[in-house]
Amino acid sequence: MSGQQFRRNIIVTGGAGFIGSHLVRLLVKKYPEYRIINVDALTYAGNLANLKDIENCDNYVFRKADVTDFEAMRRIMEDFHVDAIIHLAAESHVDRSIKDPFIFAKTNVLGTLTLLQASKEYWESLPEKFDGKLYYQVSTDEVYGALELTRPDGEAPYGDEFFTEQTRYAPHSPYSASKASADHFVRAFHDTYGLPVIISNCSNNYGPYQFPEKLIPLFINNIRHGKPLPVYGKGENVRDWLYVEDHARAIDLIFHRGTPGETYNIGGFNEWKNIDIVRLVIRTVDRMLGRKEGESERLITFVTDRAGHDLRYAIDSSKLHDELGWEPSLQFEEGIEKTVRWYLDNQEWLDNVTSGEYENYYARFYGDSDTH
Ligand code: NAD
Ligand code: DAU
């Protein structure tokens, strides 16, 4: 297979997942001169239906493979003359990591190490070595730990402190510990072998194609079906929300214009308490379904808090803004409107991922709870 006809051959791992599918779509459409190789193991979270609209594009290739399989990663790199990797494949749900941490260490830590070693070996075998090559790690703000809530109720932002690129890593959940560990390996490969790497740490994403185990799509689906809405604790935890396409645009920008060896925080300066988001989503779904606005508030059910539940995340993304000119394009209310519309219009997609094999897996995972 020749890579010569393409200016760059780029692996995106986890391209069949939520953020990965938005990134693959953006890159395939925007850069016909690049070949995008989507490498995904198609776990419960991976779904090729997310990429139906671009699957026949000449510059798009899909390879079903596990990122922890070293031989497979080496082979794909050689077959496609890969010159860059954007690594998103991961186990991404905090609640699952609390129940089953091992798969998080395997996929997130060993998977990252496998890709680092495979790219290092492959690129070192080429005459140009690391010249023009890039390993890009897509990470999360959760590696920084949690911030305090220091402002009174209803006053946003909810504190004066933000995560910056200098904030020390202090993960709390098995998920964030696995992502932090992976990031340390990325830095170690840069510092030890000179591998050109970039890391970006993003806040909570929302938008179409997010798996309905995460807060926003789970609640949209439950409201539609009149099922209880399981709010953890008192719903006072704060997250910083970003529309998924804005994250994909940021990755594109950092990939092209970021400096190897650097870290970039991505976030929308958009902090919301969970309970306020729940009420906004309820109003939006009710209105779109022709129900009385707020009628579904009766579904709110306060349940036992998530173990070790991080209180507040808030990203300072001014480095990305000041150095590369990035800023989010959507207001949260507008993004929620688009997101709810998408889920209501794509009931078939939702039914596919919440039925059959998945439903069985889900039932095994969450027990008999009727809230998920
Ligand atoms: P997701 O769970 O929707 O998708 C993960 C994808 O990775 C799926 O397509 C899955 O099939 C694939 N995958 C899992 N294990 C694999 C393996 N062993 N080999 C190959 N593929 C495998 O995740 P997401 O929410 O799109 O997150 C993508 C990345 O972005 C993750 O690294 C996550 O840590 C990071 N991130 C997510 C958010 C967020 O809010 N969702 C925010 C910041 C960073
Ligand atoms: O901050 C970035 C991270 O955001 C990503 O790295 C993760 O991959 C992604 O899953 C997300 O993590 P969170 O744990 O913040 O997202 P989640 O949607 O699971 O939960 C958002 C908030 O809502 C959190 O405070 C827990 C709460 N919650 C969640 C669920 C699923 C509930 O109250 N009830 C629920 O049923």
Cα 201 from Cα 59, distance rounded (Å) = 28
Ligand 1 centroid distance, CA of 287 (Å): 32
Atom 23, ligand 2: which residue's CA is nearest? 215
Given CATH 3.40.50.620, say whether it is the number of domain 7-365: no
Instruction: Tell me the best of 48, 50, 73, 88 to mutate to test the pocket of ligand 1, counting ligand atoms within 8 Å of each CB and taking the most.
Output: 88
Per-residue pLDDT, 185 = 99
> Can you read off the two tokens belonging to residue 167?
């904030």
Atom 6, ligand 2: which residue's CA is nearest? 140
| Residue 188: Cβ within 10 Å count | 14
With a 6 Å cutoff on the Cβ, whether 146 touches ligand 2 is no
- 162 forms beta bridges with none
- Active-site residue flag, 141: yes
Q: Which atom of ligand 2 is nearest to the CA of 95?
A: 19
Atom 41, ligand 1: which residue's CA is nearest? 205
Domain definitions of the chain by residue range: 7-365
> Can you read off the two tokens belonging to residue 290?
């022709």
With a 6 Å cutoff on the Cβ, whether 231 touches ligand 2 is yes
Q: Which atom of ligand 2 is nearest to the CA of 216?
A: 18
Cα 17 from Cα 46, distance rounded (Å) = 5
Q: Which atom of ligand 1 is nearest to the CA of 47?
A: 9
Least Cα distance to 115 among 81, 80, 79, 84 occurs for 84
Sign of the CA dihedral with 239 first, then 242, 247, and 253 last? negative
Per-block average pLDDT, block size 10, for the chain (372 residues)?
80 98 98 98 96 97 98 98 98 97 98 98 98 98 96 82 98 98 98 98 98 97 96 97 98 98 97 97 98 97 97 97 97 97 96 70 50 50
Per-residue pLDDT, 360 = 47
- The predicted-structure confidence for 63-83, as pLDDT tens digits, reads as follows 999 999 999 999 999 999 999
What separation, in Å, do the N-terminal and C-terminal C-alpha atoms of the chain show? 45
Per-residue pLDDT, 356 = 57
Atom 21, ligand 2: which residue's CA is nearest? 215
Angle at 92 between CA 356 and CA 64, to 5 degrees: 65
> Can you read off the two tokens belonging to residue 303?
């349940």
Per-residue pLDDT, 154 = 72
Instruction: Give, to the nearest 10 degrees, the angle between helix 111-124 and helix 174-193.
Output: 20
Instruction: Tell me the best of 64, 67, 92, 353 to mutate to test the pocket of ligand 1, counting ligand atoms within 8 Å of each CB and taking the most.
Output: 92
What is the DSSP track for 296-344?
Answer: GGGGEEEEPPPTT---B--B--HHHHHHH-----S-HHHHHHHHHHHHH
Rg (CA), the chain: 20
- 283-287 long-range Cβ contacts below 8 angstroms, 24+ apart: 284/336, 284/337, 284/340, 285/220, 285/223, 285/224, 285/340, 285/344, 286/223
Atom 25, ligand 1: which residue's CA is nearest? 18
Per-residue pLDDT, 359 = 52
**Are the CB atoms for 28 and 59 separated by under 8 Å?**
yes
340 Cβ contact partners less than 8 Å away, ≥ 6 residues apart: 220, 281, 284, 285, 288
Cα 27 from Cα 20, distance rounded (Å) = 10
**Are the CB atoms for 48 and 42 separated by under 8 Å?**
yes
Q: Which atom of ligand 1 is nearest to the CA of 92?
A: 2
- Active-site residue flag, 142: yes
Q: Which ligand is nearest to the CA of 216?
A: 2
Per-residue pLDDT, 368 = 47
Tell me how far CA of residue 326 lies from CA of 38, 142, 241, in angstroms: 25, 21, 16
> Can you read off the two tokens belonging to residue 276?
């306020």
Cα 107 from Cα 238, distance rounded (Å) = 28
